A and B are shown apart, each in its own frame.
Chain A
Amino acid sequence: MIELDRVAYSYGGGELFSDVTLTLAPGSFQFLTGPSGSGKTTLMKLCYGELRSTSGHVRLFGQNAREMGRDDIALCRRKIGVVHQDCQFLDHLTVAENIALPLTVAGRGAEAADYLADLMAWVGLTHQANQLPPELSGGERQRAALARAVIVSPDVIIADEPTGNIDWEMSQRLLRLLVELNRMGRTVLIATHDLNLIRAAKAQVQSRVLRLTGRRLQVAGVDL
């Protein structure tokens, strides 16, 4: 689905990482860890085409990302649900409208009514549907971001520090949602510092942990 082959990324004259090879195979569940500033977010942006690698090859659903235009990348994004740490909402739209946004921009706004109620119940935001994003708590925002990421039934879900601003109980709830999506066949990649979250996930789903450190990506051992 998404493949990075000996990818390097340089920023501001310095190399952030190099020789990174990563495959997001269908149905896989992977964690990406590493110290702050190691390039986790950058690596994830390469995975959904927001950035272009300095060298190496990135393939998104079989296409070479370097040869894709902005509109091709946009079409790819409809198969990738992204959950940002800061959620990235449109603050002038209601929570329900934000969650339906991927369908709206895909010209499938009319379908939103079919999914929206169930989806909002699934993430526990039924009563917040008509609120504006700034009125939500951190946990509610993360769940709304997850709902927006999955409303178009994407093949891949990429979540960047989805539990960074929420308490342990809410983290567990979000994790359960992601595990449930993975069981439904979705590919999941989560960037996190939270080792407890990784341990909790390993108890529920077969997963792999990757560690980005020293400008290289390595598979982490079992001694997390």
Chain B
Amino acid sequence: MNGLFRYIAVLAGDPQADRTVPPTGFTARLTVFTAGAMAFLAVFALALSLATGRIADRWESELARTATLRISAPMDQLDAQQAAALTVLETTPGIASARALTAEEQKALLEPWFGPDLPVESLPIPRLIEIVETEEGYDPAGLRARLQAEVPGAVLDDHTRWRDPLIAAAHRLRLLAVVAVVLIGMATAAMITLAAQAALAANAQVIRVMRLVGAQDMYIAGAFVRRFTLRGLMGAVSGTLAGMVAVLLLPSTEVAGGFLTGLSFQGLGWLVPLAIPPLAAIVAFFATRAAALRTLRDLS
């Protein structure tokens, strides 16, 4: 608790003390620009993280309780096998519903590849049955065994084969986005540290005079820390707002479609990037404080 009060005291400081450090020119602009650019990038990394999280959740929830039964058989046996399969499915514990896709639905599925005029009825196309599980779920191995005995042409696809890699990829992408946010934070800290060190080195004579008249290290460091924290905050506010506007202006799903258009924040997600400016200020505070105390030690 005492440490917290000490940090607050450094930030509150003495307005007169800030005048003792002369304006630091390019380091000021460098800090504002760096914090702004990093905050802008952080907004996109956060948006990516949240979007991939949403996609992974959706795939998990929407696909986890569904399966597809595909029946491949000679044309004259298809109806019989379909009826047998539906009977098996209706009597299998853990299956909430099973429904054969209509000819129109199958046609719609194939339309992107074969066009709208495909004569589905006359082609030996497998029949598809959509299965929805109950919360408890069914036993896939047991169901496969029953189907093998009663519906020889049936193949159960519980989506695991292609769903799991997609969800894993989405999770990995979210992790990468989080790593990007962390790297952005570290890069911000590094740049602000360099700027603070340059400012301190340029003010070696000021520091010498302040020491001569009895200034303690924390007093001298405080003047620099307040200045760089404020600049970090200002830059991050600008960068965050610019990033949020850019995300807001991304094309809508209806216009362009595809994954990237889902990148925008949704609902309370718009509040998440507002955490960037205070976090940037905290990073600036500790980076400058460490740099200042180290430089003051070296200058003694």
| Inter-subunit contact B17/A104 (CB<8 Å) | yes
Q: Which of A31-58 contact B (CB under 8 A)?
A: 50
Q: With a CB–CB cut-off of 8 A, which chain B residues contact A84?
A: 212
**Residue A190 interfacial (CB < 8 Å):** no
Contacts A90-B20, A90-B22; A102 near B14 (Cβ below 8 A): no
Contacts A70-B300, A71-B216; A105 near B22 (Cβ below 8 A): no
| Inter-subunit contact A77/B209 (CB<8 Å) | no
**Smallest CB separation, B28 vs chain A (Å):** 14
**Residue A195 interfacial (CB < 8 Å):** no
| Inter-subunit contact A109/B214 (CB<8 Å) | no
| Inter-subunit contact A105/B17 (CB<8 Å) | yes
**Residue A136 interfacial (CB < 8 Å):** no
| Inter-subunit contact A104/B20 (CB<8 Å) | yes
Bound CA span A148–B16, Å = 16
Contacts A90-B22, A92-B22; A101 near B14 (Cβ below 8 A): no
| Inter-subunit contact A74/B209 (CB<8 Å) | no
**Residue B215 interfacial (CB < 8 Å):** yes
**Which of B23, B208, B219, B297 contacts A105, CB < 8 Å?**
B219
**Which of A70, A102, A109 contacts B213, CB < 8 Å?**
A102
Q: With a CB–CB cut-off of 8 A, which chain B residues contact A148?
A: 213
| Inter-subunit contact B20/A88 (CB<8 Å) | no
**Residue A156 interfacial (CB < 8 Å):** no
Q: With a CB–CB cut-off of 8 A, which chain B residues contact A92?
A: 22-23
**Smallest CB separation, A176 vs chain B (Å):** 24
B contacts with A: majority SS: helix
The number of residues on chain A lying at the interface, defined by a beta carbon within 8 Å of a beta carbon of chain B, is 24
Bound CA span A102–B219, Å = 12
Contacts A70-B300, A109-B14; A88 near B212 (Cβ below 8 A): yes
Bound CA span A75–B215, Å = 8
| Inter-subunit contact B206/A105 (CB<8 Å) | no
Bound CA span A93–B217, Å = 20
Q: With a CB–CB cut-off of 8 A, which chain A residues contact B216?
A: 70-71, 74-75, 105
| Inter-subunit contact A97/B19 (CB<8 Å) | yes
Q: With a CB–CB cut-off of 8 A, which chain B residues contact A9?
A: none
**Residue A143 interfacial (CB < 8 Å):** no
**Smallest CB separation, A90 vs chain B (Å):** 6
Q: With a CB–CB cut-off of 8 A, which chain B residues contact A152?
A: 214
Q: Which of A52-79 contact B (CB under 8 A)?
A: 70-71, 74-75, 77-78
Bound CA span A195–B210, Å = 32
Q: Which of B166-220 contact A (CB under 8 A)?
A: 206, 208-219
Q: Which of A94-149 contact B (CB under 8 A)?
A: 97, 101-102, 104-107, 109, 148
Residue of A nearest to B223 (CB): A105
**Which of A90, A93, A106 contacts B214, CB < 8 Å?**
A106
| Inter-subunit contact A82/B212 (CB<8 Å) | yes
Q: With a CB–CB cut-off of 8 A, which chain A residues contact B218?
A: 71
Q: With a CB–CB cut-off of 8 A, which chain B residues contact A75?
A: 214, 216
**Smallest CB separation, A95 vs chain B (Å):** 14
Of the candidates B208, B209, B217, B218, the one having the most CB atoms from chain A within 10 angstroms of its own CB is: B209
Residue of B nearest to A82 (CB): B212
Q: With a CB–CB cut-off of 8 A, which chain A residues contact B19?
A: 93, 97
**Residue A29 interfacial (CB < 8 Å):** no
Q: With a CB–CB cut-off of 8 A, which chain A residues contact B210?
A: 101, 105
Residue of B nearest to A149 (CB): B213
**Smallest CB separation, B227 vs chain A (Å):** 14
**Smallest CB separation, B269 vs chain A (Å):** 45
Residue of B nearest to A91 (CB): B22
| Inter-subunit contact A105/B300 (CB<8 Å) | no
Residues of A within 8 A of B (CB): 50, 70-71, 74-75, 77-78, 82, 84, 88-90, 92-93, 97, 101-102, 104-107, 109, 148, 152
13 extra interface residue pairs, beta carbon distance < 8 Å, beyond A88-B209, A152-B214: A74-B215, A74-B217, A88-B208, A89-B209, A90-B20, A90-B209, A101-B213, A104-B16, A105-B20, A105-B213, A105-B215, A107-B14, A148-B213
